[in-house]
Structure 1
Amino acid sequence: METKFNLEKTREFGELISDTFNFAKIFRNELWQVFLKFVIPFLVPVLLLSFYTQYSATSSLNFDPSDPASIENFFTESFSSGLVLANIATIVLSIILFIVLELSILGAIKSYKETGSFSIESISVQIKSNFGNSLGLSFLVGLILVVSFIACFLPSIYFAIVFTIAFPVLVFKKVGVGEVINECFRLIKDNWWATFGVVLVFGIIISIIGLVFTIPTAMYMWLSGLVDADFSSFSSTDKIILASITTISTFLQYLLNVLAIILSALIYFNLNEQKYGEADLDEINQIGDY
């Protein structure tokens, strides 16, 4: 029997969090297929670059602070052209990956909302049609958060919660970047504290889960005698293993981001229903069609 999941409805505090995990559990196979199809092609290069930079960073830490020649070699390796280019490429690809991840998961949710299935073709169209606006939205939101943080820390927290639903508004409302910003403020009005509470609790849960992913790295460093961060006896094999574990941890962190995107969509639907009651209007219209 096919499981139906009602997206467009108001949800209480606990429901938003529990339904996030329920949606991921019910449609784990479909979401995994979407992840493989759209996200992995961008994630693999990021992970490879992450492995390279992690390995290079570990290698450059093997120096003697009392030896001027060793310190000079450290700075030479740390700011080598290859490592600098790798870091720049990682930043650029990570931005693209972030947008593709957001659009692919939200596109999958939108496809399910409209058709009851996860259409690969529909998701592809969503990514292509929204990529440009998503890039502009990311830049604008990032700029607002950075400026507000520099001006005063507290406003940046306020804006961060407001823009939690920025990408869902872009995808589900199909509006321009400017209207996305305005709609975020309209929807969050009178619901900021409730949204903040959900995001805070969910963030704590995800942080605890994410902390588990860092345990292998910490355990390996402890077993390798690196509790004092002494890399002088670190072999090439140790560096490869440590970089590999860190890279795997990065991959798992991206999987956790899928949950955060699902939550942002459910928060959007919750606020949208409270504000406009579109699902109820649709039901009334459908009754009138009979």
Structure 2
Amino acid sequence: MKSKFTHELDFRQERDFGQKISATLEFITAHFRPLGRVLLYLVVPAVLLQALASALFDAELFGSVQGAMRGQGSTFAGLFQGGMWGAMLSAPAYWIKTILGTAAFTLLLLSVYGYVKLCLRPQLTSGEVSVAEVWAVVRREFVGTFLSAWALSFLITASFFLLVIPGIYFSVALSLFFVVKVVEGTGFGETLSRCLQLTSGKWWSTFGLIAIMLFIFYLVIVGIGISVTLFSGGLSAMFQVSRLHSPVFSIIMASINSLVLLLLFPPLLVALAFQYFNLVERRDGVGLRRLIDSLGKTTAPQATNSTYQLDEEGEY
């Protein structure tokens, strides 16, 4: 029987690999409409704004590259010697694009994990999670999560530069960072420590889950990419200009790509959430304690009959 994921104990369970994939699909199926509504109102506007900034940056970067190539005799080595990277980093559009991209990613993380956190409430059985409730979580957690995203990116990038293997290890272990931060309400240092605790001895299972989800992600991207390529060819012919010379075309294609990624990222985030609940249950047994505490506290449902009531004698 498929779970509706309307109670905390639906989440706090030990699950094997296949069960985590199944739970991810069941959760998305059960909550597709309310979660989709949250993403539509809270994340899509930021994603479209980021796509606009990305298209403007690409156009500005293209102009800088052309100038650098003309000044350096159109050689690839000369392109880097001509200071292309300096021109890119000094472009305002680059920083606007980067900041908006981080903000959109932060909104996505908080929307998905804020929704999951609200699903843990006992009273969810009487209704759906609303956009306003998720927005309250987003407002409360946005600044800390935004700054944490930058700090985490710096930490993982630095570990890759120092040695590749630590970079890979931390990338997997800290993949649970944001779900831990949102659900448990911990600070940056506490969240890092908690992630390393939970994945200790379970690093490979976490890596396997991410690898499978990314493989599915890749297959979907390839299929969508073929469709988008065919669509972009027709759209380019309609504009009668090349992709790099058409700001309108670039904005449309950047928007499509961003929206496609928006549809594909939530399943990965939800799968990581179920891995988090699985590891917490194995380590701390939170769900088991909740179940034990609830024993004897629920009132027995009163029997009702549409024909006879307690004060009726009935027919003899």
The TM-score with structure 2 as length reference comes to: 0.76
Q: 2:48–2:258: 8 Å Cα contact kept in structure 1?
A: no
Q: 1:145–1:159: 8 Å Cα contact kept in structure 2?
A: yes
1:23 positional shift:
1.4
**2:209 maps to which of 198, 218, 227:** 198
1:198 positional shift:
0.9
CA shift in 2, pair 1:287/1:250, >3 Å: same
Letter in 1 for 2:95: I
Letter in 2 for 1:9: Q
Q: State yes or no: 1:14 paired with 2:5.
A: no
1:156 positional shift:
0.7
- The match for 2:4 is 4
- The match for 1:228 is none
Letter in 2 for 1:19: A
Q: Distance in 1 between matches of 2:231 and 2:87?
A: 28
Q: Distance in 2 between matches of 1:45 and 1:110?
A: 27
**1:105 maps to which of 96, 101, 112:** 112
Structure 1: state its 5+ residue gaps.
226-232
Q: Distance in 1 between matches of 2:117 and 2:161?
A: 36
Q: Secondary structure at the match of 2:216?
A: helix
Q: Distance in 2 between matches of 1:199 and 1:219?
A: 30
1:250 positional shift:
2.1
- The match for 2:177 is 166
Structure 2: state its 5+ residue gaps.
299-316
1:9 positional shift:
1.0
Q: 1:145–1:156: 8 Å Cα contact kept in structure 2?
A: yes
Q: State yes or no: 1:89 paired with 2:96.
A: yes
Letter in 2 for 1:13: F
CA shift in 2, pair 1:179/1:52, >3 Å: same
- The match for 1:276 is 284
**1:148 maps to which of 159, 182, 202:** 159
**1:234 maps to which of 215, 232, 242:** 242
Q: Distance in 1 between matches of 2:87 and 2:157?
A: 29
Letter in 2 for 1:103: L
Q: Distance in 2 between matches of 1:55 and 1:199?
A: 34
1:38 positional shift:
1.2
Q: Secondary structure at the match of 1:289?
A: coil
Equivalent residues in 2 for 1:198-277, closer than 5 Å = 198-219=209-230, 234=242, 240-241=248-249, 243-277=251-285
CA shift in 2, pair 1:259/1:180, >3 Å: same
Where has structure 1 moved over 3 Å in runs of 4 or more?
53-63, 67-71, 74-81, 216-225, 233-243
How large is the RMSD of aligned CA atoms in angstroms? 3.4
Q: 2:52–2:254: 8 Å Cα contact kept in structure 1?
A: no
Q: 1:59–1:239: 8 Å Cα contact kept in structure 2?
A: no
Letter in 2 for 1:20: T
- The match for 1:178 is 189
CA shift in 2, pair 1:48/1:243, >3 Å: closer
**1:287 maps to which of 288, 295, 304:** 295
1:171 positional shift:
0.9
